[in-house]
Amino acid sequence: MKNYYVVGNKSSKSLSPIIFNHWFRKYKIDARYGFIEVSQKKFDKKIIETLADKRLGGLNITIPFKQRIMKYIELCDEHSLNINAVNCVHVNKKIKGFNTDWMGYYKTLPKIKNIKKKNILIIGYGGAALAIHYVLSLKGFKNISIINRTKKKLRFEKTTKYTISIKKLNKLLTNSEIVINTTPKNPIKKESLKYLSKKTLLSDIVYFPKNTDFLKNFPDNKKIYGISMLLEQAASCFRIWFGFNPLIDKKLIQTLDKKIQ
C-alpha cells in the first residue's frame, strides 16, 4: 500500500483526504491518503522523514510550504519553476515537483465567448494569485488588473508593472467583468458593493464556507466557488500520480457540499 498526504500548518482541516480516498475506493487503488500537520519550525525535519518513507507515493503541499518544499525536489516541472511554488510531489525513482494550481483554476472558468477579452480584476497577489495570474497570462487573457494592499511587482508581464492600490478598488469594480478574490477575507466593503454590475462573474478561491462573505454580497451574480479549483487541481495531481483523469462525480460533490455549507 502506498501512502499519500497533504502537508501544511492547518492540513487537518483539508478536504483533500476526502477527495483522494474517494477516488482510491472508486478505482480500487491500494493506497491511503492522510494529512501531516506541521509547524514552520519542524517542517524540515518532518519532510525529510516523510520523503524517506519507502511507502510514500506522493504529497500535496499547502500553505505555507509551497516554496519551502522546493529544496527537497530533484526535478521540478516548468510551471512550478515559473510560479516558484510546488503543490504536488510525485515520489518514484526521483522526487518530482509540480504545480497544478494554475491549470486547476483555468478549468473552473466557463466556456463563454470572448472570455479572454474580458476585464479581469484579481484581488490579492499571494501564492494562489500568482498561479492564477500565470495561467491567465499564459492563455492569452488581455485585460488583467491586480489590486493588492502593498505594492508588488507583477510577474508574467512583458513590461514592468505593479499591483494597483486598494484605494482604486471602486473604479476598477465598475469596469470589471470577472472579479477573482484570492484573499482569505471579504475585500469589498458595503459602500463599494454598488460599483459592481450584476452581470459580473465572481470567483473566490476560499472553499469554506462555500458561499463566502465575499460571494454572499452578490446574490444575483454568477459565481465560481473555491471548491471547484480544489477539485480540479486535485484531479491534475491524481493524473500525475496514476496516469489517468479521475471522475469528479456527483457522489463526491455531494459529500464535499455537506462539509462546506
Q: Which three cell numbers stand for residue 9?
A: 500548518
Quick one: DSSP state of residue 153? B
Is 66 part of the annotated catalytic residue set?
yes
What is the C-alpha separation between 250 and 248, in angstroms, rounded?
A: 7
Q: Which three cell numbers stand for residue 10?
A: 492547518
Cα angle 223-26-69, degrees, rounded to a multiple of 5: 65
Prior bond to 110 cis, omega within 30? Answer: no
Cα angle 239-222-256, degrees, rounded to a multiple of 5: 45
| Sign of the torsion angle spanned by Cα atoms 82, 155, 112, 193 | positive
What is the C-alpha separation between 150 and 126, in angstroms, rounded?
A: 11
Contacts of 94 (CB under 8 A, 6+ apart): 74, 75
Which of 10, 28, 54, 66 is catalytic? The answer is 66
Which residues are known to be catalytic?
Answer: 66
